[in-house]
């Protein structure tokens, strides 16, 4: 293919399997980055099959893989190597994050099913996977409930896919339900703010915001206008709004 | 409190002749000592071997501190653009790390170097302190040693407190605060402190002490120690920091406040500080891993302006307000302040706020 009729090659005979395997790993690393499952496979085989000392892997192989030379990273890869096959498949098939797969390993089968179905149907990216798994982990721990039980408490069904709703809507429902359980006071505050703001019936060109998580002492009001007449009208409207009880209550939320 | 017994001591040769070194070695005769010229290799050794945090604490390093001992409190430095009000406090770092295991301790995340360290070059510490304080005769300093270590947990071994208390006894414009969760006060009794040292205890309800402040002295032991210090003429202080929002918190905190003022007269209490539980995300993740039974990371903690996770504001306000009420009820007239809190939280909880860090600092020293 390269227009060469012959290539120089050295026939290596009698090398132990361990050397051949390690050679193959390094050859791969020379040409491309290994994904986490491939890294885990390489490290796992070297440790479990060939009894390779961990220290040499930490010092040499991990940096070759672009990882920090630490026992923590080696242990993470070994845990990934020993992971349940179905979770391994989910990493490659539905982009389940490896660190979340490791957490799911400690969950019951039906709990994993619920989470994996959500990841798949909503095509959850990195941040959303982290957000939901963290909420679930915390709630499992603090309430002692299973994921199924939490789903029920939030008014969700295990077969949420049966409902006519978009992936975004489904994610929003799940997130809101879990947030209300995990952060009840904050979520109630947020919902109250949304209600109060709606009751003010502000025109679209006036935007009213409170600081994130209510950590601040000012309400931000943004007015957009195209001309002076419109500005006068919006300012007049804002003056009326300032007299409404709802506005007073919004300040009290801070 | 569980006494500290290291598995090995690493001794930097430059502090071999220090009094602190002699104190420690005399009190730990059976512990193997490795003498080293330089401690530079230890950080990479610790990282490579990655011993667990608890395991790493079994190594005690006696070394020289080569930077400035005297610093503004990290709270002031970490304020960033936040409006948090601090108390104009200073720290001297005579040691780093703590062998007790509070689940919420920020040192487990904050410290890069995992071993227990005592800076044995005390002569340099004392002379830097004297020079710094004497060079600003018009201002009054409140200085603590409890930022990177418990002030008294290792005092049985180091006897560090004695020269410090004696130094402050001769300084007209500074007060030393020794903050602890231990009951190790024997070395303090009988010293010529001249009212220039305040012994302070971090306080929490028994439930939190038992479940979240592992290897520390019990609340009763702390109160016994406080009563002994008061009998020796020391003023004392109490820090409800971190305050924990848990089922039953109201009864827990009210009860411990009542117990404090049953044991210690309010006029001997220099101040009481309040601070809600706070941590950054990395610390919270580490806590979940190290202390899976801790209830603390499960609190309603949200990201605040300074980047730390804190209880949702209405929770903080309610806790501060109630604690202040109980302190006023049982210890009328005691000075109470919030540590690293927002101005509007001050206003809602206490009905007013200081205009600046300096004003708060001044308010705290006015009665001393």
Average pLDDT over residues A75-98: 92
d(CA A81, CA A91): 12
Nearest to A141 among B298, B304, B343 (CB): B298
Q: Does A68 touch chain B (CB under 8 A)?
A: no
Nearest to residue A119, comparing CAs of A108, A130, A134?
A: A130
Q: Which of residues 122-181 of A touch B (CB under 8 A)?
A: 138, 141-142
Nearest to A138 among B298, B304, B342 (CB): B298
| A10 has a pLDDT exceeding 80 | no
Q: What is the pLDDT of residues B249-279, one digit of tens each?
A: 999 999 999 999 999 999 999 999 999 999 9
d(CA B309, CA B322): 22
Q: What pLDDT score was predicted for residue B45?
A: 75
Q: Which helix (H) or strand (E) holds B269?
A: strand B269-276
Which residue numbers of B have CB closer than 8 Å to A's CBs? Answer: 47-50, 292, 295, 297-298, 300, 302-305, 310, 312-315, 342-344
Residues of B in contact with A182 (CB under 8 A): 300
DSSP conformation class of B4:
P
Contact B49 A71 (CB under 8 A): yes
Q: Please determine, for the modelled complex, whether the ipTM score is greater than 0.95.
A: no
Lowest-pLDDT range, A67-71, B74-78, B338-342? B74-78
Contact B298 A215 (CB under 8 A): no
With vertex at residue A192, the alpha carbon angle to CA A191 and CA A193, rounded to the nearest 5 degrees, is 90
CA-based nearest distance A217→chain B, Å: 6
Exposed/middle/buried for residue B66 (C-beta within 10 Å: 0-12, 13-18, 19+): exposed
Q: What is the pLDDT of residues B208-252, one digit of tens each?
A: 999 999 999 999 999 999 999 999 999 999 999 999 999 999 999
| A102 has a pLDDT exceeding 70 | yes
Residues of A in contact with B310 (CB under 8 A): 215
More confident call, B201 vs A165: B201
Contact A138 B47 (CB under 8 A): no
d(CA A119, CA A125): 8
CA-based nearest distance A88→chain B, Å: 23
Nearest to residue B133, comparing CAs of B121, B146, B143?
A: B143
A contact test, residue of B245, B314, B347 with most A CBs within 10 A? B314
Residues of A in contact with B344 (CB under 8 A): 216-217, 254
Residues of A in contact with B313 (CB under 8 A): 213-215, 254
pLDDT band at B146 (very low <50, low <70, confident <90, very high): confident
Q: What's phi and psi for B308, nearest 5 deg?
A: -85, 155
Average pLDDT over residues A204-209: 95
Q: What pLDDT score was predicted for residue B75?
A: 76
B contact test, residue of A53, A74, A143, A217 with most B CBs within 10 A? A217
Q: Per-residue DSSP letters for B67-115?
A: S-SEEE-HHHHTTTT---B----EEE-SEE--SSEETT-THHHH-SS-S
| A210 has a pLDDT exceeding 60 | yes
pLDDT band at A229 (very low <50, low <70, confident <90, very high): very high
């Amino acid at each position: 293919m390269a227009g060469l009729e012959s290539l120089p090659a050295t026939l290596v005979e009698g090398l132990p399997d361990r050397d051949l395997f390690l050679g193959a790993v390094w050859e791969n690393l020379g040409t491309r980055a290994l994904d986490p499952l491939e890294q885990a496979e390489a490290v796992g085989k070297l440790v479990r099959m060939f009894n390779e000392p961990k220290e040499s892997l930490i010092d040499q192989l991990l940096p070759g893989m672009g990882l920090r030379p630490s026992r923590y990273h080696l242990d993470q890869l070994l845990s990934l190597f020993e992971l349940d096959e179905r979770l391994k498949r989910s990493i490659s098939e539905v982009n389940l994050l490896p660190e979340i797969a490791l957490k799911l390993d400690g969950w019951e089968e039906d709990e994993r099913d619920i989470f994996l179905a959500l990841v798949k149907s909503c095509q959850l990216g990195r941040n959303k996977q982290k957000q939901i798994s963290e909420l679930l982990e915390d709630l499992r721990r603090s309430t002692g409930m299973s994921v199924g039980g939490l789903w029920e408490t939030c008014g969700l069904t295990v077969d949420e896919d049966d409902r006519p709703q978009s992936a975004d809507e489904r994610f929003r429902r799940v997130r809101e339900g879990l947030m209300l359980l995990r952060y009840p006071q904050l979520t109630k505050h947020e919902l109250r703010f949304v209600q109060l703001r709606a009751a003010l019936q502000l025109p679209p060109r006036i935007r009213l915001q409170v600081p994130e998580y209510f950590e601040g002492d000012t309400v931000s009001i943004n007015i957009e206008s195209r001309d002076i007449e419109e500005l006068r009208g919006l300012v007049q409207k804002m003056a009326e709004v300032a007299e409404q009880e709802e506005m007073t209550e919004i300040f009290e939320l801070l | 409190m569980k006494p500290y017994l290291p598995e090995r001591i690493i001794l930097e040769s430059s502090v071999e002749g220090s009094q602190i070194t002699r104190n420690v070695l005399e009190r730990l005769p059976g512990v193997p000592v490795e003498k080293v010229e330089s401690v530079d290799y230890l950080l990479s050794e610790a990282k490579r071997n990655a011993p667990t945090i608890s395991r790493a604490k079994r190594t005690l390093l006696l070394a020289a501190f080569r930077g400035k001992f005297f610093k503004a409190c990290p709270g002031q430095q970490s304020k960033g653009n936040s409006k948090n009000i601090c108390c104009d406090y200073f720290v001297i770092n005579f040691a780093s790390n703590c062998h007790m295991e509070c689940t919420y301790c920020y040192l487990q995340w904050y410290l890069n170097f995992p071993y227990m360290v005592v800076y044995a070059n005390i002569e340099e510490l004392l002379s830097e302190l004297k020079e710094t304080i004497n060079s600003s005769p018009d201002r009054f300093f409140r200085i603590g040693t409890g930022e990177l270590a418990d002030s008294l947990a290792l005092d049985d071994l180091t006897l560090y407190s004695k020269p410090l208390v004696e130094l402050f006894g001769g300084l007209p414009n500074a007060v030393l605060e020794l903050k602890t969760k231990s009951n190790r006060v024997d070395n303090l009794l009988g010293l010529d402190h001249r009212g220039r040292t305040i012994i302070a205890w971090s306080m929490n309800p028994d439930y939190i002490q038992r479940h979240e402040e592992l290897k520390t002295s019990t609340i009763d032991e702390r109160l016994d120690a406080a009563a002994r210090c008061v009998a020796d003429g020391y003023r004392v202080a109490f820090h409800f920091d971190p305050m924990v929002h848990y089922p039953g918190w109201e009864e827990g905190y009210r009860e411990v406040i009542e117990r404090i003022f049953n044991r210690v007269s309010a006029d001997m209490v220099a101040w009481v500080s309040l601070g809600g539980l706070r941590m950054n995300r990395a610390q919270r993740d580490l806590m979940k891993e190290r202390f899976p039974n801790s209830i603390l990371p499960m609190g309603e903690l949200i990201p605040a302006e300074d980047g730390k996770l804190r209880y949702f504001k209405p929770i903080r306000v309610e806790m501060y307000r109630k604690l202040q009420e109980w302190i006023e009820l049982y210890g009328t007239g005691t000075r109470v302040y919030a540590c690293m809190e927002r101005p509007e939280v001050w206003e809602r909880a206490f009905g007013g706020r200081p205009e600046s860090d300096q004003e708060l600092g001044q308010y705290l020293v006015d009665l001393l």
